[in-house]
């Protein structure tokens, strides 16, 4: 949001761009909370950040030159960690307004000026992302007499979490979002959205958001949020199912899985009467002959739902707990690579090449040797092969 523009050094960035931006905020607020991300090596987000590309590590000190490529600089976690600490220190030195309150997160702790009388509900805090941590600060501010609160963000996840948290606040509290940038900037009233949805649907919203696709959970190919929302509107039983896994569940009940299975079927085919997703897959494939337009297998869906419940029920479902005890992602649809990175565990089924060996065929005319597909796959030739399965390469 705050690009370096024409400034030359990190000191210039802090005092010409960053602090003046927050100074303008203080003109209309009595308390300002600045919430930073934390960057953990053993994290699901580490793989997501790696996909955004790499940059060069730079030291962040006052007289150091601003990197020419700001986006590449921000792709390095250690760069951002140093930048956040540098900007926080500069802001604390500048801040002298006795009638205002400044709160800044610093790793697991918070820095405040003047000192907060009670900060036990916000520090220490083990949240990794500012997305969730800022909602913890919203609840703290509301308990301490701030009845009109605004969050500034460009992240849809924060909007979803704000709506879920808004329905837990007092009736007189207002929670607003200054969302987006440029022509896409708008003000959103999270408390009004929550009231319109009702407490149950607002509480279920984070799991729904994770189920239909977020940073750590894949989406359904060719089917976006609008389609999924329309199906939710005609499948009210989905709300109760999502509520059952919306707050750190030990497992996923079978009746919840059955409802989600029906939901996904309807996302792919609104006219389907199927209740079992594998049956729906076969019927849709017979119509469309395209694996990209049919729902996942039940085995794959179960792993997808685990990842969605981990994000929506465990991580976001404990958003108002400062030190939640999260289970290992490997228990919820993830696995670890030999390099130590988390990877989605897609399915317990063997891949198609192993389970559907009859679909592998070769074009060998004079004995299956050399580049024979069947031989490479260690499969016996079949009637689909040019040799019609009459040769036996294993005896050659």
pLDDT at 385: 77
User: Which residue, among 83, 118, 85, 77, has the nearest Cα to 104 in the 3D structure?
Assistant: 85
What is the arithmetic mean of pLDDT over 183-202? 97
Domain extents in the chain:
1-114, 118-197, 218-348, 350-396
Q: How confident is the model at residue 143 (pLDDT cuts 50, 70, 90)?
A: very high
Q: Is the pLDDT of residue 357 over 60?
A: no
pLDDT at 21 over 80: yes
pLDDT exceeds 70 at position 384: no
pLDDT at 47: 64
Which pLDDT score, from 0 to 100, does residue 383 have? 67
Report whether pLDDT(354) > 60: no
Least confident segment among 34-48, 199-213, 249-263, 364-378: 364-378
Q: What is the percent of the chain where pLDDT is above 70?
A: 93
Model confidence pLDDT, tens digit, residues 83-94: 999 999 999 999
Peptide bond into 124 cis (omega under 30): yes
pTM over 0.75? The answer is: yes
Q: What is the pLDDT of residues 65-75, one digit of tens each?
A: 999 999 999 99
Share of the chain above pLDDT 90, in %: 76
Q: How far is CA 34 from CA 101, 158, 276, 288, in A?
A: 11, 15, 47, 51
Does residue 394 carry a pLDDT above 70? no
pLDDT on residue 97: 85
Pairwise pLDDT comparison (237 vs 56), residue with the higher score: 237
pLDDT band at 374 (very low <50, low <70, confident <90, very high): confident
Q: What average pLDDT does the structure give for the chain?
A: 91
Question: What are 215-266's pLDDT values in tens digits?
Answer: 999 999 899 999 999 999 999 999 999 999 999 999 999 999 999 999 999 9
pLDDT tens, position by position, 75-132: 999 999 999 999 999 999 999 988 999 999 999 999 999 999 999 999 999 999 999 9
Look at residue 22 in the predicted model and tell me its pLDDT: 95
């Amino acid at each position: 949001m705050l690009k370096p523009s024409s400034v030359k050094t990190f000191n210039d960035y802090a005092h010409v761009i960053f602090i003046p931006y927050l100074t303008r905020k203080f003109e209309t607020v009595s308390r300002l909370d600045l919430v930073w991300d934390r960057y953990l090596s053993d994290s699901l987000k580490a793989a997501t950040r790696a996909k955004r590309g790499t940059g060069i590590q730079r030291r962040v000190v006052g007289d150091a030159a601003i990197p020419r490529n700001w986006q590449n600089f921000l792709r390095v976690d250690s760069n951002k960690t140093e930048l956040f600490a540098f900007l926080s220190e500069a802001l604390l030195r500048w801040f002298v307004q006795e009638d205002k309150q400044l709160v800044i997160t610093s790793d697991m702790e918070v820095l405040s000026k003047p000192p907060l009388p009670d900060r036990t509900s916000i520090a220490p805090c083990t949240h990794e992302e500012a997305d969730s941590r800022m909602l913890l600060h919203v609840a703290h501010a509301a308990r301490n007499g701030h009845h009109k609160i605004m969050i500034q963000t460009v992240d849809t996840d924060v909007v979803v979490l704000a709506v879920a948290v808004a329905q837990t606040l007092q009736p007189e509290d207002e929670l607003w979002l200054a969302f987006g940038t440029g022509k896409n900037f708008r003000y959103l009233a999270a408390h009004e959205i929550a009231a319109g949805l009702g407490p149950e649907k607002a509480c279920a919203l984070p799991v729904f958001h994770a189920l239909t696709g977020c940073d750590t959970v894949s989406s359904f190919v060719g089917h976006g949020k609008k389609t999924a929302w329309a199906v939710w509107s005609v499948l009210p039983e989905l709300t109760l199912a999502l509520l059952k896994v919306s707050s750190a569940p030990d497992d996923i009940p079978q009746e919840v899985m059955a409802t989600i299975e029906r939901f996904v079927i309807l996302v792919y085919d609104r006219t389907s009467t199927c209740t079992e997703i594998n049956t729906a897959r076969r019927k849709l494939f017979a119509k469309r002959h395209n694996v990209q337009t049919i729902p996942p297998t039940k085995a794959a869906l179960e792993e997808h739902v685990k990842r969605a419940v981990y994000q929506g029920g465990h991580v976001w479902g404990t958003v108002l707990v400062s030190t939640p005890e999260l289970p290992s992602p490997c228990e919820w649809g993830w696995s670890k690579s030999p390099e130590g990175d988390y990877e989605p565990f897609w399915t317990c089924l063997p891949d198609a090449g192993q389970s559907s060996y009859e679909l592998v065929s070769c074009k060998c005319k004079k004995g299956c040797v050399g580049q024979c597909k069947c031989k490479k796959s260690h499969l016996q030739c079949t009637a689909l092969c040019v040799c019609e399965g009459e040769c036996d390469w294993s005896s050659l």
